[in-house]
């Protein structure tokens, strides 16, 4: 990764749940072909770490990361598998210390002003805002920009093709995370061409 910021890789970071490791490489290739290089593979399935390893080994143009990172063990396992960035839904001091020591960029999750201030106090200014829609969405992030202009966010959780531009228009948003370009029926049918088309549509967002 030439830039140490996950937020500047692409306007949209696909949030991927891999059930079958055999799908990981063709799915990643479809996303990259569509213009989405940064790919967050969530640690929600038994296949996740093997999926990260496969994408890291076989899709050199992808910047694969791990999501749903909630423990120091998750951090260690993800980096060992080849993850180039880490994303958590929330954070604790223990988890933050582990992510800081990992040597790769990370986005700890926040949903309140106090959590943002606490991260800024610890020298972290780039964060995941989760669950974005449920936690206040665009109006909430717009309200944070005044008192906390140094904080930048990747809103994730309920973000869609329709709502993404409103988030991306905010000066404190670097990118958004979402899974709308990965409809379950397309993944089940291994319709990688459709996923590439949807990825291209997402990559064109500003």
Given 19, 101, 128, 133, the catalytic residue: 128
- The answer to whether residue 196 is catalytic is no
- The answer to whether residue 190 is catalytic is no
The span from the CA of 88 to the CA of 71, in Å, is: 9
The span from the CA of 176 to the CA of 121, in Å, is: 24
Residue 158, C-beta contacts closer than 8 angstroms, at least 6 positions apart: 131, 132, 133, 134, 137
Given 40, 121, 133, 190, the catalytic residue: 40
Residue 134 CB burial class (10 angstroms; 0-12, 13-18, ≥19)? exposed
Tokens of 21: 């490791």
Q: What is the longest distance spanned by two Cα atoms in the chain?
A: 47
Q: Which residues are the active-site residues?
A: 40, 128
């Amino acid at each position: 990764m030439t830039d140490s910021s996950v937020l500047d890789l692409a306007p949209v970071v696909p949030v991927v749940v891999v059930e079958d490791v055999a799908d990981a490489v063709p799915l990643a290739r479809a996303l990259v072909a569509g213009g989405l290089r940064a790919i967050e593979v969530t640690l929600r399935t038994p296949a996740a770490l093997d999926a990260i390893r496969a994408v890291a080994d076989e899709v050199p143009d992808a910047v694969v990361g791990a999501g749903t990172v909630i423990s120091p063990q998750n951090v260690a396992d993800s980096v060992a598998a080849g993850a180039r960035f880490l994303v958590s839904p929330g954070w604790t001091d223990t988890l933050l210390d582990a992510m800081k020591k990992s040597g790769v960029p990370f986005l700890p999750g926040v949903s309140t002003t106090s959590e943002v201030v606490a991260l800024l106090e610890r020298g972290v200014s780039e964060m995941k805002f989760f669950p974005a829609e449920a936690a206040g969405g665009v109006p909430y992030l717009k309200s944070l920009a005044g008192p906390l202009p140094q904080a930048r966010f990747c809103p994730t959780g309920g973000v869609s093709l329709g709502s993404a531009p409103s988030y991306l228009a905010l000066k404190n948003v670097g990118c958004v995370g979402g899974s709308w370009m990965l409809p379950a029926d397309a993944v089940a049918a291994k319709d990688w061409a459709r996923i590439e088309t949807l990825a291209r549509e997402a990559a064109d967002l500003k």
